[in-house]
Structure 1
Amino acid sequence: MSSNIIDERLTCGARVLLVPSQANQIVALCAFLPIPGAIERADEAGLVGITLRMLLRGTKRRTADELAFAIESLGTSISFEVFQDFSLGSMVCTDDALEPSLNIFFEVLQEPSFEPAEFEKERQSTLAAIREQMDDKLAVTQRAFLRALYGEHSYGFSRLGELETVKEFRAEQAVALYGNFVDPSAALYVCVGNFDPDRVRELLNAVVIARPTAPMEGVIPEPLYVRNKTIHIDREFEQSFLIVGFPACPISSEDWVALRVLNSVLGEGMSSRLFVKLREGMGLAYATGSFVSFHVRGGHLAGYIGTKHESVELARDLMLEEFSRIREERVPEEELERAKNYVVGKNLIDHQRNARRAFYLGYWETVGRGYAMDELYPELIRKVGTDELHRVARKYLVEPTIVSVGQRIVQ
């Protein structure tokens, strides 16, 4: 696919990756904005996200209702979201609606109105979403785990924000953040779908403008992980939730590929170790598995389980046994092949839609791996061997952080 990618810069300096494809009549555009959610201080948790969501609440030309009507009339979708290391604007439209859809997308990105009344609506909507998360045992446990592992580092903050921070937000803060950090000419634009590259280049050159903003280099420090920490949070949930996790490597490390496969062995799919042991073997879980995240400055890998309150200690001990076993014993070749096939298969299936293809190309470029990684990814996964898997297991699966949420049962 790399031979089909047109990599160039617009007259304003913005970089674009154009990937024409006639596989369907859909065009997807991803705008990778160099505004990491992790720039937030503790008292600003959630500010980047609420600022981005405000872009769809009216422009200098249209009210929020008029904007929504214009987007929906084209059958187009536009969204903005924040990640730890960047922010993302996305647009998906049919090929015959590309020009008006692009015009609206850049109107939204470059001409937001930040009306105080609309900001208050978004603030209340965000507070409602946070309260909803507080009633979800998985969300509560994940939030607590990240804060426990990353300490005061911003990777440990919820990108949605906290009730105590969002309650204090004012429209002026969003206006200031937008003015200081949103420069459309500094974004990476990735367009995938049925389009004429010359026409898209012409359209982008006509609409993308440059704005002076504050420098963003070096704003995210390396995390100082908190290791060997155990936390229990008493909540009146019907069941308990447990996460046992470890610091992992940043995406720049060569270890990330083996850790990605290691996560699959541990907790992805119904033949993974945690599923077979904790759910099928012991009947402890209604949900169990593992997850891994790699950021520019750090990362983590963790196992999780939802279980009865009285089974939390047993589940914790058995999960720790599985982590210990994979540290001490090499994974058999057959099991390793299953795990690698699972990772590669999920990746290929996720590339069926143009929007996901655009996302992955831009993601790899934005985090410093280069967009060619999207094509190399399956090959790198398949090259992981038992020795490499054993090495990273011994290196990273030590000094766990353990967080449980639910009713404590004294046994």
Structure 2
Amino acid sequence: LNAFTDKEYTCYYARVLAEDVPLALDLLSDMYRSSRFDAEEVAREQKVVLEEIKERDDAPDDLVHDLFAETLYPDHPLGRAVIGTAETVAALTPGDLRGYMARSYGAGAVIVTVSGNCDHAQVTQLVQKHLGDLGGGAETAPVSRPVATTGIVSNLVRPTEQVNFVLGTSAFGVLDEERYALSVLNTVLGDSMGSRLFQEIREKRGLGYTIGSYANMHREGGYFAVYGGTSPDTYAECLETVRAELAKIRDTGVSDAELARARAQARSGLVMKQESMSARMSRIGASEIYYGRVVPLTESLQRMDAVTPDEVLALARTVFAAPETMNVTAIGPLKKRRVAKKSV
């Protein structure tokens, strides 16, 4: 039994033997419906989460991503760290938690997914037994596209051996048609050891051990970011090299060979993830949340295969229009700096 929280949903899950599915659903349903939020238990868990926040704050390679999102979307929930802040966690009361559950944990918010050796009819019967009389809908905030800042350079001064940095900009979300081209673009640029950034920053120039890119996509939007770690005396060169690679792919796009490799890598990743029952569970649940249906794997593969070089080039010209004005967040032995924000 365990749980995790994402930017847009919380998942309570169990991994059990097939014969224990009834017990697992019983336990999860009981936790979901009947948690007491005893004051002593809440206080104990608050201490645990506060320690988790301290642990995150002591790890610059983790902290820098939260700080970047906060800088990019300062006035939107997507800019807030999932774990919260020490102040918000410490201020929570059992009453706050009960109130949140009453508002947000109604029948309209529940999606049950099961993967593995299970019987659909049995699972349906068990869900009806444990959750069939669950009333209420779910309090939902209006969907609002986040307003991104640009041109912010924000440094958190720390006496570390390396500078950990994130450079990025707003991009597209899981509901946007561009999501498949964005995944391909990310793969070409920085999502593997054969990517352009890895080859240029690490293999050719030796500027750092860790370098890569990622596309965070959510319902209301998302962002594209490059992350790396380098020595203070090579930080400026590393940033300029990253910007140059973004400009290069913006101006010239990707070759047919690069696109073929990226699509093959994306296909392999999607297919091989299905070997994990937990990955299947997560994919089904997220698909229901975002699209209101289970998107077949074959459909995702077909959409990925349909991405063209022209689509990738058009996307790069949009997302990487001005690499020199992308936000940069860094942690390390740097001068404290924060340039006034601009919104786009």
TM-score range, shorter chain: over 0.9
Answer yes or no: is 1:159 the counterpart of 2:82: yes
Task: Give the Cα separation in 2 of the matches to 1:218 and 1:409.
Answer: 39
Q: Deviations over 1:259-291 (max 9, x none)?
A: 011000111111101100000111011100001
Structure 1 residue 307 corresponds to structure 2 residue 246: no
Tell me by how many angstroms 1:84 deviates.
Answer: 1.8
2:109–2:138 contact (8 Å) kept in structure 1:
no
For 1:131, which of 54, 59, 69 is the aligned residue?
54
- State the match for 1:402 in structure 2: 328
CA apart distance, 1:198: 2.3
Aligned residues: 333
Paired with 1:247 and 1:186, the residues of 2 have a C-alpha distance of 28
Superposed displacement of residue 373, structure 1: 4.6
TM-score (norm 2): 0.92
Task: Quote the residue 1:375 is aligned against.
Answer: 298
Contact 2:108–2:137 (CA under 8 A) maintained in structure 1: no
- Provide the rounded CA distance (Å) in 1 between the counterparts of 2:296 and 2:160: 42
Pair 369,179 (structure 1): closer, same or farther in 2 beyond 3 Å: closer
2:118 is the counterpart of 1:208: no
Structure scoring higher RCO (CA < 8 A, sep ≥ 6) equals 2
5+ residue gaps, structure 1, are 1-77
State the match for 1:334 in structure 2.
257
Q: Which of these residues, 148, 158, 162, is aligned with residue 225 of structure 1? A: 148
- On the 8 A contact 2:107/2:138 being kept in 1, the answer is no
1:92 match: secondary structure = coil
Cα offsets for 1:56-115 (capped at 9, x unmatched): xxxxxxxxxxxxxxxxxxxxxx22222222222222211111212221111111111111
Note the alpha carbon deviations across 1:276-330, whole angstroms, 9 max, x for none: 0000111011100001111110101111110101111111100000000000002
Name the residue aligned to 2:285.
Answer: 362
Query: Does residue 1:121 correspond to 2:44, yes or no?
Result: yes
Aligned to 2:32: 109
- CA distance in structure 1 between the aligned counterparts of 2:124 and 2:177, rounded to whole angstroms: 35
Deviations 1:231-276, CA, capped at 9 Å, x for gaps: 1111122211111111011211111110011000111111101100
- How far 1:221 sits from its partner (Å)? 2.2
Asked whether the 8 Å contact 1:109–1:184 carries over to 2, the reply is: no
Hey, what does 1:297 align to over in structure 2?
220
Distance (whole Å) between structure 2 residues aligned to residue 374 and residue 193 of structure 1: 16
Give the match for residue 170 of structure 2. 247
Deviates more, 1:242-251 or 1:373-382: 373-382
The CA deviation at 1:220 is 4.1
Q: Distance in 2 between matches of 1:141 and 1:300?
A: 15
Matches within 5 A, 1:174-185: 174-184=97-107
Q: In structure 2, give the amino acid aligned to 1:257.
A: Y
Whole-Å separation in 1 of the counterparts to 2:257 and 2:311: 15
Which segments of 5 or more consecutive residues in structure 2 lack a partner in the other structure?
A: 337-344
* Root mean square deviation, CA, Å: 1.7
Give the letter aligned to residue 183 of structure 1.
G
- Partner Cα distance (1:142, 1:149) in 2: 11
Structure 1 counterpart of 2:342: none
Percent of pairs identical after alignment?
22
Q: Is the 8 A contact 2:193 2:199 kept in 1?
A: yes
**CA 1:408–1:128 in 2, change beyond 3 Å: closer, same or farther?**
same
Local SS of the residue matching 1:389: helix
Q: Distance in 1 between matches of 2:152 and 2:184?
A: 26
CA contact (8 A) 2:166 2:227 kept: yes
Aligned equivalents of 1:230 and 1:159: distance in 2?
Answer: 23
User: 1:186/1:218 Cα in 2 relative to 1: closer, same or farther (>3 Å)?
Assistant: closer
Q: Is the 8 A contact 2:253 2:316 kept in 1?
A: no
Structure 1 length as normaliser, TM-score? Answer: 0.78
- Distance across 1 between alignment mates of 2:118 and 2:138: 34
Q: Which amino acid aligns with 2:65?
A: Q
